[in-house]
Amino acid sequence: MLSQIEQLTTECLSAIESAKDQKQLEEVRIKYLSRNGSIAELFEALKTVPKEEKPLLGKELNKLRTKAESLFSEKKLSVDDSISQGAKRIDLTLPARKVELGHKHLLTQTLDEIKSIFKGLGFSVYEGPELESDYYNFEALNFPADHPARDMQDTFFVNKEFLLRTHTSPVQVRLMEKLQPPLRAIMPGKVYRNEAISSRSHCMFHQVEGLCVDTDVTFAELKGTLVAFAKQFYGRELNYRFRPSFFPFTEPSAEMDITCFLCKGKGCRVCKHSGWLEVLGCGMVDPNVFAFANYDTEKYTGYAFGMGIERTAMLKYGMTDIRTFFENDVRFLKQF
Amino acid sequence: MKISLNWLKEYIDLSDISVDEIVSRLTMSGLEVESVEDQNELFKNFIVGYVEERGKHPNADKLSLCVVNNGKEKVKVVCGAPNVAAGQKVVFAQIGAVVPSSGMKITKAKIRGEESNGMLCSEAELGLSEDHSGIIELESSIKEGTTISEALHLNDVLLEIGVTPNRADALSHIGVARDLAAIFQRELKYPSLQLKDSKKRIDDYASIEIADTTNCPRYSAKVVLNAEIKESPEWMKRRLKAIGLRPINNIVDVTNFVLHEMGQPLHAFDLDKLAQQKIVVKKAEPDAAFTTLDGKERKLPDGALMICDGEKAVAVAGVMGGENSEVTATTKNILIESAYFSPSSIRKTSKALGLSTDASYRFERGTDPARTIFAAERAAALMAELSGGEVVNACIDAYPNQLAEKEITLRFAQVKRILGYTIPELKIIAILNALGIKVIKEEKEKITVLAPLFRPDIEREIDLIEEVARINNYDEIPTISKIAIPISEKVDESEFVDELRSIAVGLGFNEILSIPMITEKAARIFGEPIELLNPQGSEMGFLRTSLMASALHSVEKNINVGEKSLKLFEIGKVFKKVNTELNSFDDFVEEERFLFILTGKSTEKEWYSSEKEYDFFDLKSFVNEAFRKKTLDNLLNDSYYHNANKIFDYSFSKSHGKTLLGEGGRVKKAVLKQFGIQQDVFCFEGSVEALKTITGKEKTFSELLRFPKMNRDFAFILEKEIPSNDVVSFIKKKGSKILKDVHPFDLFEHPSIGETKKSVAYSLSYYDPERTLTDEEVDKDFHQLIESVTKAFNATLRGK
């Protein structure tokens, strides 16, 4: 009987397999799987075999039936070319129903990227007010009154005491007033300069400030951190240089340049033929600033940095007019 | 600041160092070279040409047809200059030359049908002056074919250097040379002085009196007699022209020369115009006016430091001389002023006058009080040389307020502590000495130096570390990566708004960023605004008191470019006065807010739908969903205002307890009109700060319902005025414990049910988390509710 089962298995499965349409398949079903089909006949015959052979033969027979039934239902779907009852033919080429995702502003997206890199480097994120006092914006950052350094930043004043912050650096001072070292934080936000609005400059833009204070922070660590950031943000194949500069609240101060990514350092209009693009200002926190925060300058050292976002985004996305950011034309907003 | 490399080389030997190297090392030491103009490069292909023939152009009256000998051959050139003539030696731009003033490249061309192989140039075209009246005529002795660089001595390299405000010392050729001397470890050569002995005594010619010694610590003067005022010699004019200065006469040119040579501003007075031949330095009289040598009468600011003679003011100290005492063609005797003024005093005056000069620029950054005499003597010697005058022996030197060089200690260990690497001690000492910072004491672990008076920026140990670091090149500082702070301390204050932003974007809104400076009119609609003292115009004179006030401008702009359907959001700060006077942070509020704006069509005309305008309920749904996502929905109260207020025709607000979180609705036409908007706009503006104060409960998981819900619907005919939400609240209150939700799902208004009536259908959901409900208990509650609603609202059950 075992050989009978084996023979039927081969026969039945190949019959199902080779059925070409519904009709043939139905014939196969009647022949093998119906109540009077070949498989049922064998089950009938099973009753008469000796008792000790029953378990094995029963198991084999069951296997055959399960296999045949599953192959049959699979085949049935594949030879079925009829449309479901009640279904209509539709024009699938009509346009899709409109669903629109919203868009974060390109500057927000750029800021998000910068934040996420610095968060990965162990920095916290803090914020501060935009309407600032002269004390936080200038004095505590070591800009003496009547010093030409103040000319570096054209300021919108509300009165003698209050102004729209010209940089995010005042948040450094606020942070140091509030917290004790170790500190490792970035402070993004809007800043304002009273500069004529043109394709290259605007009266409002965004900065990200950075501050790190601890017992043994050095210029070498400042370089290391900013290079790590720049490689993540601008790309691995990056050439950079740190060039001495001046900010009243850092000493020594530097500007970080990276190879112009448009001309790869050969010199072009964007980099003013220097091959370099200035991407941020930085330096070691000036002891005078620590003094305003009552930090012990013999115990702590620190570094600070600040970068503008607009120019970075413009370079990255090939934009030529900074005003585009604040005109809020949805055709621009939806591009990114 | 422009620096001429030829001039620079008078003070330091740079013969074996390439221009590229000089440029790169200067930049890397803090004197950023912003551009380089190499005249040899600039005037490549410009040579001396000899005009052999000049004829008329057959097709143009104003053009000439010339034959020019370029030293090798004769070529045809079309020229438009009125002064061109045969026999002239001219500046000839050959094919391939690039005209400096326009950037135009000279090519072989046909001009009105005639061949032209180059161009004859004017001074303006070469960028040498503004003169474009005609072509340059060169001396006839210069041989044709000679390069223009050689013929006109245009073989300089000019560096445009951006000097940071701390580097007062670098604002001159010697100043730049000093940095180069330190970088390349070479000698800095000062100009030598050769003054002839004169029998005359200075005290017989002039006297000085300083009334304000705080603002004028030192005033030195030198006298030159019998000078002949004339044009400066070529070498002097070349120096000044190279750095963009216009030569005036031999006396004024010398003062300018010395200023750019060593950074000391000088002024030359006509000694005979000084009453009593006396100089008095004092503060201006209140409300005084003064005519500066540019011919402008200026009102003097309070406390401005003035240079006066025995009777009157003759110069605004440190800023500009006066017309009444300037050197003119008839001047014979000269008093050279070489002074040191307090930087802040000059800065105040210069700012108040709105007048910045080469002199004031340097005085307000700090000049060298130790070298006033040297500068005066240098100028006197040059004036004598250029004018044939006689230098009176000695100087008058009033130095009532002696300034002392500051002693500073530098600990070697601190250099490493700040920079992160070790610089050899000998190198540190060599760098400081080369910069003119004298090391006066050397010890095992530290040195003591004297900070020279020309370096007012060097006051502390850290300033010395910066000097050493920059001269030794920042490239030498290693790049070390380490993360030293435990990550568990991390804070992100921007997380909350970032999440809000993500919610808005998820709901399909586009983020805008608006300038918060707006018109007074727009600002006043929403609160008591803060005015800017120095705005960019009245359009931007006030700070926004609401995000709507700035965002509606963006709405209008978009509509104007044809983008009429908008779904926008903004998160930003608004500013409001609390008290009239702003003296402290308590007198105003700066608040972070968020704004949703809808206008135009929510659905355009489509094959699957007809077009649909945004309405109040779109706004409500987006706002509700945004708040719900912040997990606050069940804590909030909604209020509805069917009547108009200042901003909205109708509106709703969301609050938590007594805290208003936000308000929105349909913006009134009158408000929109101010922004030039003619279509309906729906706005909701809320406070981020207020939202932050309700942190909501920490979210916890609620068990999913395992038993079936049972639904019952009914519809009532009600008076139109009855708010549908009142009925909902009533049903919720009256219903039994198993009634969990009531939702209005149909609204019908038609004359057939009465003009003042409406029909509203409600769907009721019943369930119990613990068990399956029976039809009986649900029906019982449902029928009781029909009765109570009918009674309470004088309603009729529909279909009955």
Q: What string of H, E and C letters represents the secondary structure of B627-679?
A: HHHCCCHHHCEEEEECCCCCCEEEEEEEEECCEEEEEEEEECHHHHHHCCCCC
- The one-letter amino acid code at B22 reads I
Average pLDDT over residues B575-598: 95
Q: b/e string for B140-149 if b means 16 or more Cβ within 10 A? A: eeeebebbbb
At residue B695, the pLDDT reads 64
User: Cis bond leading into B424, ω under 30°?
Assistant: no
Q: What distance in Å separates residue B679's CA from the closest CA in chain A?
A: 17
Cβ of A223 within 8 Å of Cβ of B510? The answer is: no
At residue A275, the pLDDT reads 87
Which of the listed residues A62, A79, A96 is the one where a domain comes to its end?
Answer: A79
Q: What is the CATH classification number for the domain harbouring A289? A: 3.30.930.10
Q: Which of A136, A156, A219 to mutate to test the interface with B (most CBs of B within 10 A)?
A: A219
User: Could you tell me which CATH class the domain B2-40+157-183 is placed in?
Assistant: alpha beta
Mean residue pLDDT across chain B: 92
What digits encode the pLDDT tens for the residues A272-304? 888 898 999 999 999 999 999 999 999 999 999
| SS3 state at A14 | helix
Residue B237's Cβ-side half-sphere holds a number of Cα atoms within 13 Å equal to 13
- Together in a domain, A125 and A25: no
* A108 contacts on B by Cβ (under 8 Å): 501, 511, 513
Contact (CB, 8 A) for A174 and B488: no
Cβ of B466 within 8 Å of Cβ of A149? The answer is: no
Q: Looking at the domain assignment, is residue A293 inside a domain?
A: yes
Q: How many domains does chain A have?
A: 2
B531 touches chain A (CB under 8 A): yes
Q: Is the pLDDT of residue B183 over 80?
A: yes
Architecture of domain B44-151 in CATH? Beta Barrel (2.40)
Cβ of A244 within 8 Å of Cβ of B30? The answer is: yes
Cβ of B513 within 8 Å of Cβ of A328? The answer is: yes
Give the nearest partner residue to B557 out of A112, A284, A327, using CB atoms: A327
ipTM score here?
0.86
What digits encode the pLDDT tens for the residues B89-123? 999 999 999 998 888 899 998 888 889 999 999 98
CATH superfamily of B202-398: Phenylalanyl-trna Synthetase, Chain B, domain 3 (3.50.40.10)
- Together in a domain, A176 and A51: no
Give the nearest partner residue to A330 out of B417, B475, B566, using CB atoms: B566
At residue B485, the pLDDT reads 56
Cβ of A102 within 8 Å of Cβ of B510? The answer is: yes
Give the integer Cα–Cα distance in Å for B174 and B341: 21
Q: What distance in Å separates residue B284's CA from the closest CA in chain A?
A: 19
Q: Looking at the domain assignment, is residue A93 inside a domain?
A: no
Q: What distance in Å separates residue B691's CA from the closest CA in chain A?
A: 17
What element of type H or E holds A226? helix A219-234
At residue B157, the pLDDT reads 95
The larger pLDDT score, comparing residue B687 to residue B636, is at: B687
Average pLDDT over residues B758-780: 93
Cβ of A333 within 8 Å of Cβ of B512? The answer is: yes
The chain A residue lying nearest B509, using CA atoms, is: A102
Q: Is the pLDDT of residue B395 over 80?
A: yes
Q: Looking at the domain assignment, is residue A262 inside a domain?
A: yes
Give the nearest partner residue to A218 out of B419, B543, B603, using CB atoms: B419
At residue A148, the pLDDT reads 74
Residue B237 neighbours by CB distance under 10 Å: 16
Q: Looking at the domain assignment, is residue A100 inside a domain?
A: no
Contacts of A96 by beta carbon, 8 Å cutoff, 6+ apart = none
Give the nearest partner residue to B485 out of A94, A182, A272, using CB atoms: A182
- Together in a domain, A202 and A285: yes
Q: Looking at the domain assignment, is residue A283 inside a domain?
A: yes
Ranking A13-17, A223-227, B369-373 by mean pLDDT, the lowest is A13-17
Q: Looking at the domain assignment, is residue A323 inside a domain?
A: yes
B329 touches chain A (CB under 8 A): no
At residue A258, the pLDDT reads 92
Q: Let me know if B366 is exposed, middle or buried by CB neighbors in 10 A (0-12, 13-18, 19+).
A: buried
* B460 contacts on A by Cβ (under 8 Å): 287
Contact (CB, 8 A) for B466 and B414: no
At residue B671, the pLDDT reads 93
Give the integer Cα–Cα distance in Å for B352 and B365: 17
Give the integer Cα–Cα distance in Å for B279 and B209: 6
- Together in a domain, A59 and A135: no
- Together in a domain, A146 and A240: yes
Residue B333 tokens read as 């005797």
Q: What is the pTM of this model?
A: 0.86
Cβ of A219 within 8 Å of Cβ of B603? The answer is: no
Cβ of B419 within 8 Å of Cβ of A220? The answer is: yes
Contacts of B570 by beta carbon, 8 Å cutoff, 6+ apart = B511, B512, B513, B514, B547, B550, B551, B594, B595
- Together in a domain, A55 and A147: no
The CATH number for B495-693, chosen from 3.30.930.10, 3.30.70.100, 3.40.190.10, 3.30.2040.10, is 3.30.930.10
Average pLDDT over residues B443-462: 96
Contact (CB, 8 A) for B290 and B313: yes
- Together in a domain, A290 and A146: yes
Q: Is the pLDDT of residue B634 over 80?
A: no
Give the integer Cα–Cα distance in Å for B284 and B292: 14
Give the nearest partner residue to B511 out of A98, A104, A225, using CB atoms: A104
- Together in a domain, A284 and A202: yes
- Together in a domain, A68 and A132: no
B585 touches chain A (CB under 8 A): yes
Q: What distance in Å separates residue A12's CA from the closest CA in chain B?
A: 46
* A105 contacts on B by Cβ (under 8 Å): 511-513
What element of type H or E holds B524? helix B520-524
What digits encode the pLDDT tens for the residues A162-178? 999 999 999 999 999 99
What digits encode the pLDDT tens for the residues B38-49? 998 889 899 999
Q: Taking CB atoms and an 8 Å cut-off, how many pairs form between chains A and B?
A: 248
Cβ of B607 within 8 Å of Cβ of A196? The answer is: no
- Together in a domain, A28 and A129: no
In CATH terms, are B44-151 and B406-476 the same topology?
Answer: no
Cβ of A131 within 8 Å of Cβ of B607? The answer is: no
The chain B residue lying nearest A287, using CA atoms, is: B462
Q: Which of B305, B347, B477, B552 to mutate to test the interface with A (most CBs of A within 10 A)?
A: B477
What digits encode the pLDDT tens for the residues B556-567? 999 999 999 999
Q: Which of B479, B498, B503, B575 to mutate to test the interface with A (most CBs of A within 10 A)?
A: B479
At residue B487, the pLDDT reads 54
* % of chain B at pLDDT higher than 90: 80
Give the nearest partner residue to B479 out of A129, A214, A227, using CB atoms: A227
Give the nearest partner residue to B482 out of A127, A152, A224, using CB atoms: A224
**What are the angstrom distances between the C-alpha of B637 and each of A49, A164, B397, B658?**
80, 36, 82, 10
Q: Is the pLDDT of residue A220 over 90?
A: yes
What digits encode the pLDDT tens for the residues A221-234? 999 999 999 999 98
Q: Is the pLDDT of residue A182 over 80?
A: yes
* A156 contacts on B by Cβ (under 8 Å): 517, 532-535
Q: What distance in Å separates residue A103's CA from the closest CA in chain B?
A: 5
Cβ of B501 within 8 Å of Cβ of A104? The answer is: yes
| SS3 state at B52 | strand
* % of chain B at pLDDT higher than 70: 98
The ranges assigned to domains in chain B are 2-40+157-183, 44-151, 202-398, 406-476, 495-693, 710-797
The chain B residue lying nearest A161, using CA atoms, is: B583
Q: Is the pLDDT of residue B800 over 60?
A: no
Q: What distance in Å separates residue B85's CA from the closest CA in chain A?
A: 40
Q: Is the pLDDT of residue B631 over 70?
A: no
At residue B698, the pLDDT reads 67
- Together in a domain, A119 and A234: yes
Q: What distance in Å separates residue B145's CA from the closest CA in chain A?
A: 32
Q: What distance in Å separates residue A279's CA from the closest CA in chain B?
A: 15
Give the integer Cα–Cα distance in Å for B528 and B587: 12
Give the nearest partner residue to A125 out of B167, B491, B531, using CB atoms: B491
Q: What distance in Å separates residue A98's CA from the closest CA in chain B?
A: 8
Average pLDDT over residues A250-275: 87
Ranking A37-51, B426-440, B593-607, B713-727 by mean pLDDT, the lowest is A37-51
Q: Is the pLDDT of residue B248 over 90?
A: yes
Q: Looking at the domain assignment, is residue A86 inside a domain?
A: no
- Together in a domain, A129 and A24: no
**What range does the domain containing A195 cover?**
106-333
Cβ of A131 within 8 Å of Cβ of B588? The answer is: yes
CATH number of B406-476: 3.30.56.10
Q: b/e string for A235-259 if b means 16 or more Cβ within 10 A? A: eeeeebbbbbbbbbbbbbbbbbbbb
Q: Which of B20, B349, B485 to mutate to test the interface with A (most CBs of A within 10 A)?
A: B485
CATH topology of domain B710-797: Alpha-Beta Plaits (3.30.70)
What digits encode the pLDDT tens for the residues A112-142? 999 999 998 889 999 999 999 999 999 999 9
